[in-house]
Amino acid sequence: MDKALREAARRLGGASDTPRLDAELLMAHALGVRREDVLLGRAGSAVPEEFAALLERRLSGEPLAYITGTRDFWTITLHVAPGVLIPRPDSETLIEAALAHFGATGPKTVLDLGTGPGTLLLAALDQWPEATGLGIDASGTALDIARANAARLGLGARAAFASGDWAAGLSGPYDLVLCNPPYIAENEQIGADVRAFEPHEALFAGSDGLSDYRKLAIQIPPLIAQGGLAAIEIGATQRTDVEALFADSGCAISCRSDLAGRDRAIVLSRA
pLDDT the model gives residue 22? 97
pLDDT the model gives residue 172? 86
Intervals of CATH 1.10.8 along the chain: 2-60
pLDDT the model gives residue 271? 82
Intervals of CATH 3.40.50.150 along the chain: 70-269
Topology given in CATH for the domain delimited by 70-269: Rossmann fold (3.40.50)
pLDDT the model gives residue 34? 93
**Distances in whole angstroms, Cα of residue 10 to Cα of each of 3, 14, 50, 167, 216:** 11, 8, 19, 47, 45
Supply the CATH classification number for the domain 2-60: 1.10.8
**Distances in whole angstroms, Cα of residue 138 to Cα of each of 37, 141, 184, 206:** 39, 9, 18, 17
The whole-angstrom separation of Cα 156 and Cα 160 is 7
pLDDT the model gives residue 112? 98
Q: Could you say which residues of the chain have pLDDT below 50?
A: none
